[in-house]
Amino acid sequence: MIVLDYRDNRPLYEQVTEKIAHLIICGALESNSKLPSVRSLAMDLSVNPNTIQRAYAQLEQDGYIYTVLGRGNYVCGNNEWKDSKLRELSRELEQAMRKAKEAGLTLQEVTAMVDTVYASEEGETK
């Protein structure tokens, strides 16, 4: 399910957060499915439970999961996290486009940059 890269400079909780978010986005974790407990995932990954707790807190803040007290953590419905992410990305894209326009870049230049970044990201996930 999750493999951590100990050579990665990022903190372990960020790697766990990214991996779980990816599993949710690609559909490997279905809406309303229960995530492993903090302790069991910490044991599986051989990390401190605080690392998993921090990752789960970030995932909840980002709208990917929700917590039911005394029961555990669950994957949010697809529309909930998608709507949240779309709003966030829309704001970021607006800011980036404003900066590009202020820098004198044309729409074609920006589109080429986006295509390049998107293609490189696609290559990394394959």
The ranges assigned to domains in the chain are 12-76, 79-125
Alpha-carbon gap, residue 126 to 124, rounded angstroms: 6
- Does CATH number 1.10.10.10 belong to domain 12-76? yes
H or E element in which residue 74 lies: strand 72-75
Q: From the centroid of its chain, how far is CA 109?
A: 28
Give the Cβ contact number of residue 16 at 10 Å.
Answer: 23
Per-residue pLDDT of the chain (126 residues; tens, 9 = 90+): 799 999 999 999 999 999 999 898 888 899 899 999 999 999 999 999 999 999 999 999 988 999 999 999 999 986 666 666 777 788 888 899 999 999 999 999 999 988 898 887 766 544
pTM of the model: 0.66
